[in-house]
Amino acid sequence: MRLTRRTFLGSAAATLALPRVGHAAVEELRPSPVNLQILPPDYPTTDVWGYGGMPGPEIRLPQGARLDRRLVNGLAQPTTIHWHGLRLPNAMDGVAGVTQDSVAPGGSFDYGFDLKDAGTYWYHPHDRSYEQVGRGLAGALIVTEADAPEVDRDEALVLQDWRMQPTGEMVEDFGALHDMAHAGRIGNYVTANGQSYIARDLPLHARLRLRLINAASARIMQIVHSGFAGWTVAEDGHPLEAPVALPDVLVLGPGQRVDVIVDVAATGDATAYLGLIEGDSAAVLYEVTPTSAERDAALAAPAPLPPNPLPPLGDLAAARAAEVRIEGGAMGGMTAARADGVERPMQDLVEMGLVWALNGAAGMPDAPIATVSPGETLRMPLINDTAWPHVMHLHGHPFRVIDGDRPAGPWRDSVLVMPDTRTEIAFRAEEPGDWLFHCHMLDHSASGMMHWVKVA
């Protein structure tokens, strides 16, 4: 008898339903359509896609622990889960069509790997992500240090950007060419952990560690603050060598994270808040109403976070360089690019939904940017020849911005590259496999800004 996939899945499900002695059930992440309050409380609810609530359940595990999750697809389209920013085996990276087959509706996939690095990471689908992330699929993944700085409160803020109608309907215009060729699908409403804003009552001088995650498809978030005194301690999960005083504006491109440690310092009737710049005003994302102090004065400045066990960058002067030239988009003047291995004029590309190119290739090319061996250092000068900012993200390998032969920035996994600028990054290759390098403005990656590096 021929065994079809459906029969096979059915019998597998039946087996799983039997109680198993001595085996804890694997926790599930089940993306599915769900109706939730997304707009402020006095508005109607919205049909979104979520892993249960909004955002997805926060995964919080100690450094060195193993993460095990079963993806069970409750959507009507295939999906995967990508663990953004983590160093892990390539087969666990969750990239549809590259590191795994996409998981069909009703199907499942088991992810399991060790958490090497502490910090603030996140998870999201890596199939049609411009739609799936845009409809709400994202969650925080927090890996805690054994030796964490003392704080009164530690919380992640997953920032999501929605294109909404006042009736509560989401504007369902995913994949529109105009958005793709411009700044991406920027919404008109930003939430923090699925709410219009978060309000807390905390004592004056209370110390908070806030982990901001930009889970938007396209919006570069500029976050101002008032009534907090503090420091930036980590970017994209990785500790800064030393805490730096909180800047007036925190800038987070899509996919990027920042950890801040802040003390409630607002006095009188003032509140302490983080606000998102929108035009010439700021919308409150997180607000603390100070209550009476439980300590006489603010705590002393925090020590640096313990560094992650990253391999050193190695000898930059001796390292190979592989340039990445970013072209295309509106006002970019791109006239042709390769797609599916064929050089095509712009008009044909547009018909294929492709408007950007990396090194002359629009969409995932057959050959990588470079093939590097494990342990090798690769420099990548990124040349933005477009009229738009991009946030370039490398899978599986934290990198640093470099200046000549010296590191010039912290470890991170996504970097904003402004129009008509050149930014050079370098990383040390580790796990073998095909690792994506793409723009994390998800409409941009879907319309051409998708490439890869081979480690072999």
Question: Which chain residues interact with Cu ion by CB under 5 A?
Answer: 390, 439, 441, 444
Backbone angles phi, psi at 274, to 5 degrees: -110, 135
Q: CB of residue 194 vs ligand C2O: minimum separation in angstroms?
A: 19
Structure tokens at 372: 């590097």
Distance of CA 438 to the CA centre of its chain: 12
- Interactions with ligand C2O, residue window 79-98 (CB under 6 A): 82, 84
434: Cβ–Cβ under 8 A, 6 or more apart, which residues? Answer: 90, 98, 99, 368, 452, 453, 454
Q: Pick what 255 binds: ligand C2O, Cu ion, none; C-beta below 5 to 8 Å, kind-dependent.
A: ligand C2O
Strands 189-192, 139-144: pairing kind: unpaired
Q: With respect to ligand C2O, which residue has the nearer C-beta, 157 or 206?
A: 157
137 near 48, Cβ under 8 Å? no
Alpha-helical (H) ranges within 377-451 are 442-446
Q: With respect to Cu ion, which residue has the nearer C-beta, 185 or 444?
A: 444
336: Cβ–Cβ under 8 A, 6 or more apart, which residues? Answer: 343, 344, 345, 346, 349
Q: Pick what 438 binds: Cu ion, ligand C2O, none; C-beta below 5 to 8 Å, kind-dependent.
A: ligand C2O
Q: With respect to ligand C2O, which residue has the nearer C-beta, 122 or 273?
A: 122
Supply the DSSP string of 65-130, one letter for each residue: PEEEEEEE--SSS-B--EEET----GGGS--BTTTBPPBPTT-EEEEEEE--S-EEEEEE--SSHH
Q: Which stretch binds ligand C2O (CB under 6 A): 4-12, 104-112, 194-202, 434-442?
A: 434-442
Supply the DSSP string of 304-327, one letter for each residue: PPPPP-PPP---TTT-EE--EEEE
Q: CB of residue 161 vs ligand C2O: minimum separation in angstroms?
A: 15
Q: With respect to ligand C2O, which residue has the nearer C-beta, 346 or 361?
A: 361
Q: Does 255 bind ligand C2O (CB under 6 A)?
A: yes
- Considering only 87, 238, 379, 395, the residue that binds ligand C2O (CB under 6 A) is 395
Q: CB of residue 40 vs ligand C2O: minimum separation in angstroms?
A: 28
Q: Which stretch binds ligand C2O (CB under 6 A): 52-60, 149-157, 325-333, 435-443?
A: 435-443
Q: Which stretch binds ligand C2O (CB under 6 A): 44-52, 148-156, 163-171, 432-440?
A: 432-440
C-alpha span between 206 and 274 (Å, rounded):
15
C-alpha span between 307 and 305 (Å, rounded):
6
Q: With respect to ligand C2O, which residue has the nearer C-beta, 31 or 230?
A: 31
Q: Does 126 bind ligand C2O (CB under 6 A)?
A: yes
Residues lying near ligand C2O in the complex (CB under 6 A): 82, 84, 124, 126, 255, 393, 395, 436, 438, 440
